[in-house]
Amino acid sequence: MIQARIRLENLALQEQRGAAERRALELREMATRAELRALHAQVQPHFLFNALNALSYLTEVDPKAAQRFTERLADMLRYTVQASERPAVLLSDEVGFVEDYLGVARERYEGDLRFAYHGPPELLSATVPPLLLQPLVENSLKHGFSAERRALSLALDAVTSDGWLTLTFTDDGCNGNHGVRGLGVGLDNLEQRIRQFGGAEASVQSGPGGAGGFRVVMRWKQNGQAAGAA
């Protein structure tokens, strides 16, 4: 009888311990989601403010361009709302977002803005943090676009090796700030989000590109995280 009672008490303790561990895991996941939402919130208001200013201007000077702008902007806003509620998205989603973003930016900047993806087609199905590329595109337009040249090319290179995914984002723009250009707070934000997604060993490095312009290299271990449903 005593041994049976001890076994029952041990089982009860194990169940309580298991329940406590599950609850702790849930709380950690909730904290991670809350932190990611806070980081997203640092990005979205700035982007939305600029987009609405551009739309207001186009409505006055070119209604047809404003209509095209509105359609692109609607796609972008739909994606930002959906992506902010998902722990991961497909790289192809991010590439599509950049194309929509530049479609809007062409109306605003009145320049030749180009974007190209270089990498194996299968890596477009890799999962990445939501809204990963948006601050990089903004940075390129802000610091790399020249009113004299009126052209800017952006590129994303994707490679994988030994389970590590490396994404290299580059532009061929001019270097502001006397040849020194960076992401400032945006880079800290990006690093936090990538480490939340890819673990403590994930890294972000930025600096001048090989042929001028700017380059950001993001690297993390792929863990098979699934993208959320749209």
Put simply, whether the predicted model's pTM sits higher than 0.75 gets the answer no
Q: Are 153 and 114 in contact (CB under 8 A)?
A: yes
As a whole number of angstroms, the distance between CA 20 and CA 14 comes to: 10
Residue 120, classed as helix, strand or coil, is coil
**pLDDT truncated to tens, each residue of the chain (230 aa)?**
666 666 666 666 667 555 545 654 554 565 455 555 555 555 556 666 777 777 777 788 888 877 777 888 888 878 877 887 888 999 999 999 999 888 877 777 777 899 999 999 999 999 999 989 988 998 888 888 877 778 899 999 999 999 999 999 999 887 654 344 555 656 678 888 899 899 999 999 988 877 678 999 999 998 766 565 44
CATH architecture of structural domain 40-221: 2-Layer Sandwich (3.30)
Domain residue ranges in the chain: 40-221
3-state secondary structure 31-87: HHHHHHHHHHHHHHHHHHHHHHHHHHHHHHHCHHHHHHHHHHHHHHHHHHHHHHCCC
